[in-house]
């Protein structure tokens, strides 16, 4: 079954696992086993000014995209100063930690895959002794650092350069974390639909989560139409039919995840396309 939920800042809370290993850290689960997902957990994370998250090692991969604020981000013994629009991958078994380096709340969207174990199951997150995160870090040369990058809306091409017509029309899609970037378990994307853009009904061999950043878009999930807006989160499982149509007068943007990573071929299975092929085959 698909899931459509609404982000509520009032539900932010310190995870019990991190209570003794963080200061000013809160998060809310947008997608996890309670919403039907098998392969991922998607969290909206907040860190208060001066806040920290101690170094920790996880038995799952992390994909991170900074939504607001400035951070000292530690990974594998190196410290980097990151800002809004920066993204990173933390491989399985690699230590990472956070410090809010600004005067405003730090916020990042994070996908974990394979899906972390729920409370009461086997441990999959561990905190080294003396694991306080660094107090300083340099702004990285993103062209020379693996598993770090930057994307913001200034990099979106003009609408007239986007493909028009067909199953996918007017859609801007940037897969900024994928296999070639160095991720092993997931893809992370930015999506922009200008007015009139659409993607027709289809499904995949992997799960998708969508966190709506701005605007609104009409969804069609398993034949049911519903409008989702900024702050909503959508999850579709393997084989779940879905489509999107921007029928509004303004663009809509969202961040999206694929878990596990897509196959090398036949990533999209468009229903209308296969109906047309079927009529030829059966004729």
Domain end residue (candidates: 96, 130, 150): 150
CB 209 within 8 A of CB 30: yes
Cα→Cα distances 241→96, 166, 204, 252, Å: 36, 18, 8, 21
| Cα gap 256→205, rounded to integer Å | 15
Is the distance from CB of 65 to CB of 232 less than 8 angstroms?
no
Q: Could you read off the pLDDT of 19-32 as tens digits, one per residue? A: 999 999 999 999 99
Residues 119, 141, single domain; the answer is yes
Distance CA 115, CA 130 (A): 27
For residue 144, is pLDDT > 90? no
Each residue's pLDDT tens digit, 170-200: 999 999 999 999 999 999 999 999 999 999 9
Tell me: do 117 and 195 sit in the same domain: no
Which residues, in sequence order, are CB contacts of 10 under 8 Å at separation 6+? none
Give me the mean pLDDT over the 42-61 stretch: 98
Tell me whether strands 187-193 and 172-177 are parallel, antiparallel or unpaired.
Answer: antiparallel
Do 14 and 143 lie in a common domain? yes
The HSE-up count of residue 34 (CA atoms within 13 Å, CB side) is 9
- The answer to whether residues 14 and 138 belong to one domain is yes
pLDDT in tens, 201-246: 999 999 999 999 999 999 999 999 999 999 999 999 999 999 999 9
Q: Taking CA 104 as the corner, what is the angle to CA 101 and CA 109, rounded to the nearest 5 degrees?
A: 80
Q: What is the CATH number of the domain that holds 29?
A: 2.60.120.10
- pLDDT 10s digits, 83-105: 999 999 999 999 999 999 999 99
Q: What is the spatial distance between Cα 108 and Cα 89, in angstroms, rounded to a whole number?
A: 13
pLDDT digits 0-9 by tens, 117-142: 998 899 999 999 999 999 999 898 88
69 and 129, same domain (yes or no): yes
Domain hosting 85: range is 3-150
Using 50, 70 and 90 to split pLDDT, how confident is the model at 253?
very high
Please tell me whether residues 274 and 165 are part of one structural domain.
Answer: yes
Average pLDDT over residues 241-268: 97
Q: What is the dihedral of CA 83, 235, 12, 85, to 10 degrees?
A: 10
pTM of the model: 0.95
H/E stretch holding 280 reads helix 271-282
Q: Are residues 130 and 266 in the same domain?
A: no
């Amino acid at each position: 079954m698909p899931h459509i939920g609404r982000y509520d800042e009032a539900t932010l809370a310190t995870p019990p696992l991190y209570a003794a290993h963080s200061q000013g850290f809160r998060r809310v689960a947008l997608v996890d086993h309670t919403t039907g997902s098998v392969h991922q957990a998607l969290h909206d994370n907040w860190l208060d000014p001066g806040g920290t998250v101690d170094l920790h090692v996880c038995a799952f991969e992390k994909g991170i995209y900074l939504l607001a604020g400035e951070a000292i981000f530690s990974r594998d013994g190196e410290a980097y100063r990151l800002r809004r629009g920066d993204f990173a991958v933390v491989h399985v078994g690699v230590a990472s930690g956070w410090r809010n380096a600004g005067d405003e709340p730090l916020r990042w969207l994070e996908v974990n895959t394979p899906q972390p174990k729920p409370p009461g199951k086997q441990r999959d997150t561990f905190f080294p002794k003396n694991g306080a995160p660094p107090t300083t870090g340099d702004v990285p040369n993103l062209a020379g650092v693996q598993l770090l990058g930057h994307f913001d809306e200034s990099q979106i091409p003009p609408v007239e350069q986007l493909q028009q017509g067909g199953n996918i029309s007017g859609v801007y899609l940037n897969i900024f974390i994928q296999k070639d970037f160095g991720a092993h378990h997931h893809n992370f994307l930015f999506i922009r639909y200008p007015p009139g853009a659409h993607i027709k009904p289809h499904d995949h061999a992997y799960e998708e989560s969508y966190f709506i950043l701005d605007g609104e878009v009409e969804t069609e999930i398993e034949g049911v139409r519903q409008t989702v807006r900024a702050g909503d989160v959508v999850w579709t499982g393997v084989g779940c039919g879905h489509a999107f149509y921007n029928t509004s007068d303004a663009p809509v943007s969202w961040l999206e995840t694929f878990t596990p990573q897509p196959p090398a071929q036949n990533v999209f299975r468009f229903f209308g396309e296969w109906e047309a092929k079927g009529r030829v085959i059966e004729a």
